[in-house]
Amino acid sequence: MTMKKIFFALVAIVFITGISFSQDWDRYKSDDLAFIANFPSEPKRSVQKINTAVGELDMHMVMYSPSILPDDNAVYSVIRSDYPEDQFEGVDSDYKNNVLDGAVEGAVSNVNGALLYDKKIKHNGYPGREIKIEISMGYMYINAYLVDNVMFISQVVCVKSNDGNASIERFLNSFDILKVK
């Protein structure tokens, strides 16, 4: 076998094993948090108390941050926060949009970023936002959904050189809410 054939055979093997390795993501389902998402590897779950204009809320986070394996992105996460139910009784779509506006403004402010785009979206019949924020070392891609009194946020953080990589869309598109209208 010539060196050229050996080289192409090795390249083909690396390419095929690389594809199968990159497609093997972990499906994460949380019945109590009511969502499903696919992560590149097993995420860690935590909860933090946060102070808000409506009082102290629990912020449930499910996050994977690659440390050993190379990855296109620095962070993949889903966050769920439950607002007091009484604040959402009988509210209209303008109120929900204002809540989502506040989530977008808070996200930009919290990372001292610049909002690059903000698009109104729906998921399972619920209102949401698709946003991209430029931060000092890269970008944050965020999808935020308001399901009754519950805010779901799925997000990916990448460095500037990896902007627009396929794993961003793959993660964000894998997110699903277990409750449908």
Give the tens place of pLDDT for each residue, 19-65: 434 568 999 999 999 999 999 999 999 999 988 777 899 999 999 99
Residue 152, domain member (yes or no): yes
Give domain status of residue 12, yes or no: no
The reported pLDDT for the residue numbered 180 is: 63
CATH of the domain at 129: 3.40.1000.10
Largest Cα–Cα separation, the chain? 75
Residue 33 is predicted with a pLDDT of 96
Which structural domain, as residue segments, surrounds residue 147?
25-177
Per-residue model confidence (pLDDT) at position 162? 95
Structure tokens at 96: 């929900």
Look up the pTM and report it.
0.84
pLDDT in tens, 106-159: 999 999 999 999 999 999 999 999 999 999 999 999 999 999 999 999 999 999
Q: What is the 3-state secondary structure (H, E, C) of the chain?
A: CCHHHHHHHHHHHHHHHHHHHHCCCEEEEECCCCEEEEECCCCEEEEEEEEECCEEEEEEEEEECCCCCCCCCCEEEEEEEECCHHHHCCCCHHHHHHHHHHHHHHHHHHCCCEEEEEEEEEECCEEEEEEEEEECCEEEEEEEEEECCEEEEEEEEEEHHHCCCHHHHHHHHHCEECCCC
Q: What is residue 51's predicted lDDT score, i.e. its pLDDT?
A: 86
15 has a pLDDT exceeding 70: no
What's the rounded Cα separation, in Å, for the pair 29 and 100? 25
Residue 19 located in a structural domain? no
Q: Is residue 7 part of a domain?
A: no
The C-alpha atoms of residue 41 and residue 66 are separated, in whole angstroms, by 8
Number of domain units in the chain: 1
Structure tokens at 74: 């620095």
What does the alpha-carbon distance between residue 108 and residue 162 come to, in Å, rounded to a whole number?
20
Q: Is the pLDDT of residue 12 over 50?
A: no
Predicted pLDDT at 41: 94
In a domain, 5, yes or no: no
Name the token pair of 11: 């390249």
pLDDT at 172 over 60: yes
Tell me: the pLDDT tens digits for 83-109? 999 999 999 999 999 999 999 999 999
Q: What is the mean pLDDT of residues 71-92?
A: 95
